[in-house]
Structure 1
Amino acid sequence: MAAEEQEGFVFGGSPWKDVEGPSLYSSLNVPSYASGEDVRSAYRRMCITFHPDKHNNAPDKEQARVLFENIKQAYDVLSNPEKRFVYDTHGWRGLRAEKSVGQSGSTPCCTALEVEELRSRFNRQLCEERNRIQCSPSCNVAMAVNAKPLLLQSSDKRKGSPPYFTIQKLAMSQAFKFGLTARDTLRCQVALQTTKTGKTFGSVVGTYRHVFKSGSCVQGSVGLGSMHHAELEYHMLLPGDFHFSVHGTLRHVYGDFNRMAFSIIPTASATIGRRIGPCSVQMRYSSEDPLTDKPECLTTTISCNSTAASFELRSGGPPVLKLLHPIQLAPSAVLEPKASLSAESVRLSYALRYGLNDHTDISLGVYVKLPGAVGCFLAVSYQNQDFEVPIELADSLSPTALFYAHFLPLVTAGIMRYCVVKPLTYLVSREQRAEDRQRQQTATSVKRNEAAMFVRLMGATYDNSVASEQARGGLIVQDAWYGVLVSHRLPGSSTVRDADIEVADVQVATQCLVKDSKLIINSESKSSLPGFYDPAPGLRKSLRVRYEFRSRVHEVTVADNEPLQAPRQSHLVR
């Protein structure tokens, strides 16, 4: 590892370890289409300035040795057709993979190894991220609100009283999942529910799950609380995309729950199904459940889920048909109309799901249940935290109920967006920007010191270039600025120059690029040129050069990725 680090570039770290690094073409100031002779010519020019033998001072010789080693590495890559092809095709990843393959003594073909390495690394990162998400706590909060008194006339007993609303049900649950091994997980859940009659039910449930090598799994859970229960479930994968599962439950009922005396009630169910592409068909047998008065039944369910639409048809017992057709309105907005038809009722609803950011979604919806009620709902999802508030507005369909069903979610969403979400997002982004600014300042300081080393070693080359150009009346750089430029007039001066907080003085480095009274800078990012550095990472930068040619002043400004060729008649200051 030490030898590998010594052989790498020092511009911001070793390229054999980092995914990205400085542009090799900019390091030699050659375009990406440069021929082998152009690369050799540029390398010889760099040798004149940065070769250690050109410097007698011990500190300068050591700095020149480090910088010249980087230039030599760039030349070794660009002068070798095979390495240059790898760099042009795969960038720094390709160079690193080729180097690791070459060190192992294998054939220098990096493509297959690099793909396998990236796949292995991606799978490890995906597994770690999945475990992190699964082990993070999840929370669900649901609050059912009865707002019918806000719209309907009060009863005679409450005539003259102000409008009011009631909370019919409040349910909360918090769950934690722990990955014991790669195949074993433990889940703990705490749930609490209150009803409009004032009764409160709570439970603590622990679930253990084990996955076999074949893909089958067994799961057992024990719950303590208002109603003790124990469950055991087994899922098995069968050939031909079939699956089979059995589920058994023992519930310990005491007190006067559901008008039943103390007893232990067993229930069981079995399911067999098959998946065919995005669709699935399954049959489920359920035993009688005295607690919910559900009879013994055999149901058949056909479902199909895709990005365009989904439906579910259930028969045997109460028949149910569910339809969902999401419509993408914008990159962060989806309209989700739903329909649910059963023998007892018809429920139509639509919701607008809007993504506020990468972690937060808000859903606003309206539902109509026939015969039944009209209402709306508001749901907020933040990572693994879900909050849902259904609001019942009327017992029958009416224009007033439909108006408030649309009005209340929009007002609530607006209040949450501008009073809660935006302030929190601003605070988080401000902290993130402060951290990014600190990292950028540290990186810029390192690059500034590297550029100062280049400029100090360019002293003799700069003097020779100025003297040669003065003798022939050639090109002499008076000022050169690189960074975020803003025009303004300097106090007490009749000339206009570009300057800003984030600029770098590159006059010496630019003069050293002059050859035979010509200044040629290629279209690569100029921050990798010798003596240059990036003073404003992430911002749009320009290069401003003011030069003298044949005793006449010229001035030109080019963007960071634009080439520069001087002198030009169009650069003349008139």
Structure 2
Amino acid sequence: MDEDNAEEGGSLLEEEDYYMFLNVPRTATPEEVTAAYKKLGRLYHPDKHVDPDNPQKKQEAEILFHRAKKAYDVLIDPHRRAIYDSLGVKGLKTEGWELVQRTRTPAEIREEYERIARQNEERQLQQKTNPKGQLTVHLNCTDWFDTYEYDDPDYIDEFRLPEVSGVSLQQSVEAHPTLRDCTTLAGQANTSNGVGTGSFAVTWRRLLGPRGWVESEFSAGSGPTLSLRAFRTLSKHVFGNAGLTLQATDRGIAPVLQSTLAMQLSKSTMGSLVWRAGMASSMTVSITRDTPSMHFVSMLQFGIPHSFAFVAYSHKLKDGKIRVGVRGGTFGIQVEYGAEKKVSQYSTVSATMTVGIPTGVSLKIRVVRASYTFSFPIRLSEEVVPAAIFYGTVIPVLGWLVVKGLIIDPYLAREKLAEKEKQRQANQTRIAQKRREAESSINLMQQTYARICSDEEKKNGLLIIIAVYGVASNIDSFSIPAGSSSSSSGNVSPVAMPAGQNREIPEDCIDVTIPLQCLVQQDSKLYLVEGSKNELPGFYDPCIGEDKKLLIQYKFRGKLHETILEDSEALTIPRQGHRL
């Protein structure tokens, strides 16, 4: 895999879970880590697998023993463990840690990693342009709903297509000469009722540190404009910004001064005061509250030419939100309501209805795809017409259901399959290696498996009859006959006939009976920590990208038990609730 492809698929590659491989919780003490390592060491130590007739067995043991030692070396070292906990394996592989003090906290380690990462990615950052664009198409559909009286009795009101009253196109690109500097070049073209205008702007911003930045902008279009702005964090909960704009007009230079002072009132609440002097002077006070379930904004503005009050509430859903707002002032009153839906990771679609006096009825549809926005403001009526309100509300909902069923759902299904295939391809080599390691591990566990089963039979303890790991749907439908020879309380020993040997394992599932039996403790208990089970010794991921489950049927005190658990779910057996 070349460097570019490796970088592109890096987020798809699954990382090793050292905690899961040792089967210890993330809060494990050094003593618990050492005990888990010693247990695996006794299982995989190469000296315990010397066979003149099968020299490959020792080589397989060396690979697994080295993996256990690598996990132990990281988790037993507080410094490396803190790096791994904060950043994963990628943090351990990042160059530059030799300069970091070993006494730093996990938070300081993450901060240091970010500093090193910024240095390593400086060249890539300088090459990025971060293009952004917005297309706005204004439509006029007032002829559909506004009624007119005509003196001509022969006049026939014909259906008219929507009129495109205006189009606006904006585009911007960025350049990063250094990590502290950013230059933006933006352009805009507009046409309204056959009259076209345009403008362009050049912006330069420099970071002064973690607490502030300064920015200057020059634009030309309706008149040359020069702007200077600055941002500063004043304290832990207070920040402010100020800006001065000088615009050339027919009457001379028109200055505009604007400043903002904001304060974090609580964990989820922010208050701000905005003062604007010059053209359209105003004073605005607002309070914003944002929580995982809602977003609330209240605003009061006094100014020239308009003063108004505004309140809006948004209820957040799993993949979208529902919004309602009221605005009233010297221009009249407006009521807004709408919804937003997240279609995919980078795409959202929204529709907002606005009903006002004297502004009439309008509908705005917006589609956001990555860094590009497509807006369609639709003027429905000059007055408050019930028909315009009804159709403006119902048609977008029906349209969304049709588009979702015919276009979006099939597209997302194809994207999901493509993402799974891409993930499989990115992990193909690693999964093949993990499968070989799992097979080798099970081969090396045979003697230990036989000994543990014999010990558990003697004391009528915990015997794993069969354990299957794989696709959740196949695990749920996998039926284990209660009267089968391997699950009965008869005389068939798991040592003589391993549980999965005479059973057909479902597709995209693997038999993990032997690995789980080898994890049974001397007190006839089995503990699995929270985390994906595919990192356990003897396991691998047979269905990457799919939801997985683990089914275990076991005997304890001669009674049959069964449980099914989610992939990342912790487990302790035996339990009375598992008894069949």
Q: Which residue, out of 483, 488, 511, partners 1:505? A: 511
Per-residue deviation, residues 314-365 of structure 1 (Å, max 9, x unmatched): 23xxx32133211224441111212241xxxx43212223111163242332
Residue 379 of structure 1 aligns to which amino acid in structure 2? I
Q: How does 1:125-144 map to 2 (within 5 A)?
A: 135-144=131-140
**Contact residue 349 and residue 366 of structure 1 kept, 8 A:** yes
1:425-436 superposed matches below 5 A: 425-436=408-419
Question: 2:323: which partner in 1?
Answer: 334
TM-score (structure 1 length as normaliser): 0.72
- 1:541 alignment counterpart: 549
Residue type of the alignment partner of 1:70: R
After TM superposition, give the deviation of residue 268 of structure 1 in Å.
Answer: 3.9
Amino acid at match of 2:283: I
Match of 2:284 in 1: 303
Residues 87-125 of structure 1: CA deviation (Å, up to 9, x unaligned): 89x455599579978744734324364142355479899
CA drift at 1:467: 5.7
- CA-CA distance at 1:31 after TM superposition: 5.5
Q: 1:275 and 1:34 mapped to 2: Cα distance?
A: 49
Q: Distance in 2 between matches of 1:242 and 1:433?
A: 46
Query: Which residue of structure 2 lines up, in the alignment, with residue 563 of structure 1?
Result: 571
- Residues 226-241 of structure 1: matches in 2 within 5 Å? 231-235=224-228
Which residue identity does 1:508 align to in structure 2? I
Give the 3 Å change call, closer, same or farther, for CA 380–340 of structure 1 in structure 2. farther
| Cα deviations by residue, 1:462-493 (Å, 9 ceiling, x for unpaired) | 34445666677766544222333225557997
Structure 1 337/91 Cα, relative in aligned 2: closer, same or farther at 3 Å? same
Residue equivalent to 1:349: 334
Change (3 A) 1:98 1:486: closer
Q: Secondary structure at the match of 1:530?
A: coil
Relative to 1, partners in 2 of residues 1:266 and 1:128: Cα closer, same or farther, differing over 3 Å? farther
Equivalent in the alignment of 1:275:
260
The answer on 1:244 being equivalent to 2:244 is yes
Pair 176,430 (structure 1): closer, same or farther in 2 beyond 3 Å? same
Distance (Å, rounded) in 1 between the aligned partners of 2:326 and 2:393: 17
1:390 maps onto 2:373 in alignment: no
Shift in Å, 1:242:
5.0
* Distance in 2 of aligned mates of 1:146 and 1:418: 25
Hey, what's the Cα distance between the residues in 2 that align with 1:492 and 1:19?
A: 37
Aligned letter for 1:164?
Answer: F
**For residues 76 and 446 of structure 1, do their structure 2 counterparts lie closer, same or farther at Cα, with a shift above 3 Å needed?**
closer
2:173 counterpart residue number = 178
CA distance in 2, matches of 1:304, 1:128: 41
Say if 1:311 and 1:467 are closer, same or farther in 2 by CA, change over 3 A.
closer
Q: Secondary structure at the match of 1:518?
A: coil
- Evaluate the alpha carbon distance shift between residue 538 and residue 324 of structure 1 in structure 2; reply closer, same or farther with a 3 A threshold: farther
- Paired letter, 1:279: L
Identity %: 18
Structure 2 partner of 1:528: 535
- What is the CA–CA distance in structure 2 between the aligned matches of 1:481 and 1:238, rounded to whole Å? 58
CA distance in 2, matches of 1:130, 1:209: 16
Deviates more, 1:441-450 or 1:90-99: 90-99
Hey, what's the Cα distance between the residues in 2 that align with 1:238 and 1:502? 55
Secondary structure of 1:407's partner? helix
Aligned equivalents of 1:556, 1:453: Cα separation in 2: 27
Distance verdict in 2 for CA 1:459–1:207, change over 3 Å:
same
One-letter code of the match for 2:336? A
Deviations 1:422-445 (A, max 9, x none): 544324422331133224545455
One-letter amino acid of the counterpart of residue 476, structure 2:
V
Structural mapping, 1:284-295, within 5 Å: 284=278
Would you say the 8 A contact 1:241–1:276 is kept in 2? yes
Distance in 1 of aligned mates of 2:123 and 2:315 = 33
Length-normalised TM-score, structure 2: 0.71
- For residue 544 of structure 1, report the CA deviation from its aligned partner: 1.1
Structure 2 residue 383 is the aligned partner of structure 1 residue 377: no
Residues 515/165 of structure 1: CA separation in 2 closer, same or farther (3 Å cut): closer
Cα distance in 1 for residues equivalent to 2:90 and 2:183 = 40
AA partner of residue 347 (structure 2)? H
How much does 1:407 deviate?
0.5
Residue 51 (structure 1) shift: 0.9
Residue type of the partner of 2:323? V
Specify the alignment match of 2:476 in structure 1.
486
CA deviations 1:396-432 (Å, max 9, x no partner) are x6xxx2x213202112212331122554432442233
SS at match of 2:387: helix
Segments of structure 1 that go 5 or more residues without pairing to the other structure are: 1-12, 224-228, 250-264, 286-298
Instruction: Quote the Cα distance in structure 1 between the aligned partners of 2:465 and 2:229.
Output: 79
| Matching of residue 364 in structure 1 with residue 352 in structure 2 | yes
| Contact kept in structure 1, 2:91 and 2:113, CA below 8 Å | no
Where structure 2 has 5 or more consecutive residues not aligned to the other structure, the ranges are 1-8, 233-239, 263-271, 289-296, 488-502
User: How far did 1:505 drift?
Assistant: 0.1
Distance of 1:417 and 1:394 partners within structure 2:
26
Query: 1:571, CA displacement in angstroms?
Result: 6.6
Q: 1:321 to 1:130 in 2, by over 3 A?
A: farther
Q: Is the alpha carbon distance of 1:98 and 1:160 closer, same or farther for their aligned partners in structure 2, counting shifts above 3 Å?
A: closer
Is the contact made by 2:16 and 2:535 (CA closer than 8 Å) also made in structure 1?
Answer: no
Q: Does the CA contact (< 8 Å) of 1:147 and 1:391 recur in 2?
A: no
Matched with 1:296 is none
- Between structure 1 and structure 2, the one with the greater Rg is 1
Q: Contact between 1:379 and 1:387, CA under 8 Å: does it hold in 2?
A: yes
* 8 Å CA contact retained: 1:190, 1:203: yes
Listed one character per residue, the Cα deviations across residues 377-402 of structure 1 (whole Å, up to 9, x for unaligned) are 2332424323233334355x6xxx2x
Q: CA offset at residue 86 of structure 1?
A: 4.0
Q: Distance in 1 between matches of 2:33 and 2:230?
A: 61
Residues 1:71 and 2:79 aligned together: no
Cα separation, 1, equivalents of 2:275 and 2:170:
31
Post-superposition offset of 1:541: 1.5
Post-superposition shift, 1:153?
5.2
Residue in structure 2 matched with residue 7 of structure 1 by the alignment? none
3-state DSSP of counterpart to 1:208: strand
Contact 1:283 1:300 in 2 (8 A): yes
Q: Note if contact 1:39-1:78 (Cα within 8 Å) is conserved in structure 2.
A: yes
Cα distance in structure 1, aligned partners of 2:476 and 2:550:
10
CA RMSD of aligned residues (A): 4.5
3-state SS, counterpart of residue 147 of structure 1: helix
Report what 1:295 is aligned to.
Answer: none
Partner of residue 143 from structure 2, selected from 114, 137, 147:
147
Matching residue's letter, 1:147? D
Residues of 2 paired with 1:492 and 1:512: CA distance?
A: 24
Q: Per the alignment, do residues 450 and 425 of structure 1 end up closer, same or farther by CA in structure 2, a change over 3 Å counting?
A: farther
Closer, same or farther: CA 281–34 of 1 in aligned 2, 3 Å: closer
SS of the aligned residue for 1:48 comes to helix
Q: CA deviation at 1:219?
A: 0.4
Q: Which has the higher contact order (CA 8 A, sep 6+)?
A: 2
Name the SS of the counterpart of 1:481 in structure 2. Answer: strand
Cα distance in 2 for partners of 1:354, 1:109 equals 46
- Post-superposition offset of 1:241: 5.7
Evaluate the alpha carbon distance shift between residue 179 and residue 452 of structure 1 in structure 2; reply closer, same or farther with a 3 A threshold.
same
Structure 1 match to 2:398: 415
C-alpha distance in structure 1 between counterparts of 2:231 and 2:435, whole Å:
64
What letter is aligned with 1:63?
E
Specify the alignment match of 1:324 in structure 2.
310
Q: Is the 8 A contact 2:339 2:350 kept in 1?
A: yes
Counterpart for residue 48 of structure 1:
42
